[in-house]
A and B are shown apart, each in its own frame.
Chain A
Amino acid sequence: MAYDKFTILKSTAVPLPIENVDTDQIIPARFLKATERKGFGDNLFRDWRYNADNSPKADFVLNNPVYSGKILVGGKNFGSGSSREHAAWAVYDYGFRCVVSSFFADIFKNNCLNIGVLPVQVSPAFLEKIFAAIFADPKTELEVNLPEQTVTLLSTGEQEKFDISPYKKDNLSNGFDDIDYLQNIKGDIEEFASTLPF
């Protein structure tokens, strides 16, 4: 599925300083019953965001109008657990284009990269600074620069580089996906398959 190209994102950010945020929190299993990819943002962090009677939980950050933006900042080991891509879809559909954390679970990170959400891994110390800056002033902006592979806390100018494979960087920058690539090497794949014992 095509997605918007990602280059430079300047935005305020939503802080979620909890560790090991698993994909069952990002989107509970009972909301995985769709056969199309739409509407998942409504159920992002469903059980942290809403009470059983569907009223919003006032103390959850997504219900606090002070915090907004296209960047979600999460604690260490963000996105652990299930492989459900619905978690990444929910993040995207809600309006986030980038998740910043000090550590990401593997499958979630991959899923994000495949759908146009940029996972940015920063050092634990820089993550703490980002949280502190946002809590001190929710209008604090971050700049995520994919071409330069930098994330900058605009209030202080502090900056860190982040890693991304050149292949994925190229995909995100141009809105390409892996299937485009794989369709172009179909001949190679068929030749390879003909040599396999299975």
Chain B
Amino acid sequence: MDARQESERDRMKNRTEVERKSERELVVTRTFNGPARLVFEAWTKPELFMRWWVPKSAGISLRSCEMDIRTGGKYRLVFETKGPNPMEFFGRYIEVTPHSRLVWTNDEGHEGGAVTTVTFEDKGGQTLLVMRDLYPSKEALDDALASGSSNVDAMPETFDQLDEVLVTLDQGAGQQPSKT
């Protein structure tokens, strides 16, 4: 991709919004320039999922990614960290409706884990993605906000390296990531 195309792409980048919708709900929204079935595919095929879930230059990498995408199926993500212990995220899919809806639990750590619902909605060639984290109580969300949930702590403060990551990804586009 040349420089002109690249700046064009940056200009076209869609905005990610986050809002605390209620005492126990956090909502992320984003539009994608593609049909819902492709966004859903990128979310549910481990080899594709692994390519975008962890910014590559963040100093951590995904050691393994098991996703049994069906209602009742389990998932487990294991991260390699700089520390001695790998970090794990796991839970269960409560609902899987192809191309439109995914619901899963976040069972790592504690009882206060949220239930995450992602909806994929076709909007004339684009997809409106809405991700809701519903916590069991106001206190659980407050705690997550106060302590920094594991999800966020997993990411070192290296978001400024992101441009670098995107360039790397771009160069690597078309190559299949190696499976381990």
A, B bound: no
| B positions within 8 Å CB-CB of A | none
